Amino acid sequence: MNVTISSSSNSAAGKGCATLFFSIFAIAGTVFLGFFCWAGWNTARAYAWKKTDCVIESSAIQESHDSTGFDVSYTYRFGGRNYTGNRYTAGMLSTMNSASAQRALARYPKGAAAYCYVNASSPAESALLRGNLWVLLFGLIPLVFIAVGVGGIIFVWRTKPGAGGAVSERLRGGKGGVLGIRIFGSVFILVGGGLMYVMLVHPMLKEMAAAKWPQVPCEILSSKVGQHSGSKGGHTYSVDVRYRYTIGGREWIGTNYNFDTGTSSSLGWRAVVVVSLPAGKKTLCHVNPDDPLDAVLSVQGSPDRWFGLIPGVFLIVGLFIFFKAPAAARKGSVVPLSVTATDSGLPAIRQGGATGETELKQAAPPGCAFAALMLFALVWNGIVWAILLSLGPRETVARIFLGIFAAIGLGIAVGAVYRLLALFNPRPVLTVSAPAVPLGGTLEVRWRFTGNVRRIVKLTISLMAREEATYRRGTTTTTDRSVFVNTVLLDTADRAQFASGSVQVEIPRDLIHTFTAPNNQIVWMLHVHGDIPRWPDVNAEFPITVLPRETATFFQEQPPTP
């Protein structure tokens, strides 16, 4: 046996890097899980506390330069004793903002009677509200991280197939992988879809609704560009604006400029907005008639809005993984064109329709290659240039770094243009005398071209066969190819022969038939190459099905072409 097994993919260094990579997942997941367990316990235990009458003694909104809080004090009687509490919530609650603080103030004014929840075993411990239990569902996310991390490490260090254990036991166990792959894909779908909804879809839906809300006069109280420390050492910015307006005879404070959430490194447009909103300016704001605290100054999206497309890449990848899971996990199928896989994993030969002329399908139609490259170029360049254009004037290092990605994007775009030009090439059409041919058999191949064949100066048609082995190295999947048959059937510069013709192809008897397993393939094909000066060449592969010798009896010899 002359098979060589790659040593690099199994090297200790490669395994070490992969282990480090997956360890980060596992550690991050464990840390977050610990946080959720702690926060979840604090939330859940409040649901065992006793509901008790209380009276609000004082309540006020607490504003600081970058946060909003709600200060409350209340008294209650428990077990014959009086207590004073000042805790608004027990456990997890969404972050307090100006709107939620105003809602809390309206719900718990001074002197109001309310309910609070008291820890019976320690009556001094109480809260007005209990945290949301559904938030604990987010605890599933760190579990997925842990599963990916631990599973990845096990995968990296597991015994190389074939080194031990019954092969048949491994093959039996291989069918359970679909669920795992689908769970993995679901993480991408949930994260990508969730972020895309928050960053892109939800703001757009709100804008559409807000366009119909009544506009009411409002006065700008303050405005500034908020500066926040970024995770990579730089700064991110926000429009920090406060304005007041009156609804139903009551004054409200709004803090939302528009419906976009979060901060970004884009300073320019925010500075322009802040300059246009000086303190004391009278303007109009859009107010939700069903909720006077739901108000914005602008129903236009910010230039950062299109960052919301970036999570879409995760969504697409997740959907791809999810729906390709059965194919990825399938083991033991052998599926050439006229050979199907049995349940046991062996090829079964279809006997019906085994004869007759068949037009071959091109392996990768030029339109598909162009569409795939064009889509990739659009996504790549869209993301890179969106980030590049949002950079501030002083972020030179980031500009240089992103310039490398922009140059790669340019190369991809050039490749897409090359593929576009190839779409205008004359296209070969190949017809064979039978849909499949056994080893040692003969196949009649006819060719013709559609389009302007006179542009071709040299035409070559070859019979090729190659091995294709797909394997994982770290986190990437690679396919290696090795050609074992490359026989030129036609090699001519005589233009009179280009338009159409035929050749007899004799398939070698002592080689291997077509073999298509998920990770290993033997591919037989007819390769057509047309040389076109100063233009992308015609380069097309047409797979053919070569069957084992024993199936020769299924095929009738074709009559010679007149």
| Span 486-545, contacts to another protein by CB under 8 A | 486-492, 496-497, 500-506, 510-513, 515, 517-520, 522
Q: Are 81 and 123 in contact (CB under 8 A)?
A: yes
Handedness of CA 513, 517, 519, 524 (dihedral sign): positive
Report the residue number, 244 or 446, with the smaller CB distance to another protein.
Answer: 446
Of residues 184-223, those binding another protein (CB under 8 A) = none
Report the residue number, 406 or 485, with the smaller CB distance to another protein.
Answer: 485
Task: Choose, by CB under 8 A, the member of 472, 474, 475, 557 that binds another protein.
Answer: 472
Report the residue number, 396 or 492, with the smaller CB distance to another protein.
Answer: 492
Tokens standing for residue 188: 């991408």
Report the residue number, 354 or 417, with the smaller CB distance to another protein.
Answer: 354
Task: Choose, by CB under 8 A, the member of 167, 211, 282, 533 that binds another protein.
Answer: 167
Report the residue number, 331 or 458, with the smaller CB distance to another protein.
Answer: 331
As a whole number of angstroms, the distance between CA 182 and CA 543 comes to: 31
Q: Is 340 in the site for another protein (CB under 8 A)?
A: no
Q: What does the per-residue mask of binding to another protein show for 409-448, with x meaning CB under 8 A?
A: -------------------------------------x--
13-25: b or e for each residue (b if 16 or more CB lie within 10 Å)?
eeeeebbeebeeb
- List the one residue out of 525, 456, 543, 467 whose CA is nearest residue 491: 456
Report the residue number, 261 or 470, with the smaller CB distance to another protein.
Answer: 470
Of residues 314-333, those binding another protein (CB under 8 A) = 331-333
Can you give the three-state secondary structure of 435-492, one letter per residue?
CEEECCCEEEEEEEEECCHHHCCEEEEEEEEEEEEEEEECCEEEEEEEEEEEEEEEEE
Q: Helices (H), strands (E): how many in the chain?
A: 10, 24
In whole angstroms, the minimum distance from the beta carbon of 426 to another protein comes to 17
As a whole number of angstroms, the distance between CA 149 and CA 151 comes to: 6
The number of residues that bind another protein (CB under 8 A) is 73
Of residues 344-403, those binding another protein (CB under 8 A) = 344-347, 349
Task: Choose, by CB under 8 A, the member of 468, 531, 537, 541 that binds another protein.
Answer: 468
The DSSP string of 366-392 is HHHHHHHHHHHHHHHHHHHHHHHHHS-
Determine the interface stretch with another protein among 90-98, 102-110, 415-423, 469-477 (rule: CB under 8 A).
469-477
Q: Are 247 and 289 in contact (CB under 8 A)?
A: no
Q: Is 470 in the site for another protein (CB under 8 A)?
A: yes
CB atoms within 10 A of CB 7: 8
- List the one residue out of 46, 142, 50, 28 whose CA is nearest residue 93: 46
Report the residue number, 160 or 232, with the smaller CB distance to another protein.
Answer: 160
Determine the interface stretch with another protein among 25-33, 61-69, 226-234, 455-463 (rule: CB under 8 A).
455-463
Tokens standing for residue 37: 């367990």
In whole angstroms, the minimum distance from the beta carbon of 374 to another protein comes to 30
Instruction: Identify each DSSP E strand in 230-346 by its residue range.
Output: 235-247, 250-254, 282-287, 295-296, 339-341
Report the residue number, 150 or 490, with the smaller CB distance to another protein.
Answer: 490
In whole angstroms, the minimum distance from the beta carbon of 515 to another protein comes to 5
Report the residue number, 502 or 558, with the smaller CB distance to another protein.
Answer: 502
Report the residue number, 169 or 290, with the smaller CB distance to another protein.
Answer: 169
Report the residue number, 136 or 505, with the smaller CB distance to another protein.
Answer: 505
Determine the interface stretch with another protein among 64-72, 92-100, 379-387, 456-464 (rule: CB under 8 A).
456-464
Task: Choose, by CB under 8 A, the member of 183, 413, 469, 532 that binds another protein.
Answer: 469
Q: Among the residues of 289-395, which ranges form H helices? A: 310-329, 366-390
Q: Are 298 and 270 in contact (CB under 8 A)?
A: no
The DSSP string of 33-95 is HHHHHHHHHHHHHHTTSEEEEEEEEEEEEEE-SS-EEEEEEEEEEETTEEEEE---EES--PP
Phi first, then psi: give them for residue 453, nearest 5 degrees: -70, -15
Widest distance between CA atoms in the chain: 111
Task: Choose, by CB under 8 A, the member of 480, 493, 556, 557 that binds another protein.
Answer: 480
Task: Choose, by CB under 8 A, the member of 16, 34, 161, 367 that binds another protein.
Answer: 161
Report the residue number, 243 or 515, with the smaller CB distance to another protein.
Answer: 515
In whole angstroms, the minimum distance from the beta carbon of 365 to another protein comes to 24
Q: Is 15 in the site for another protein (CB under 8 A)?
A: no
Task: Choose, by CB under 8 A, the member of 482, 533, 553, 559 that binds another protein.
Answer: 482
Task: Choose, by CB under 8 A, the member of 104, 239, 325, 334 that binds another protein.
Answer: 334
Q: Are 113 and 120 in contact (CB under 8 A)?
A: no
Task: Choose, by CB under 8 A, the member of 12, 13, 113, 166 that binds another protein.
Answer: 166
Task: Choose, by CB under 8 A, the member of 137, 421, 483, 493 that binds another protein.
Answer: 483
- Token pair 């008291």 in the structure block, residue: 118
Residue type, 279: A
Report the residue number, 77 or 448, with the smaller CB distance to another protein.
Answer: 448
Do the bridges between strand 89-90 and strand 129-130 make them parallel or antiparallel, or are there none, so unpaired?
A: parallel
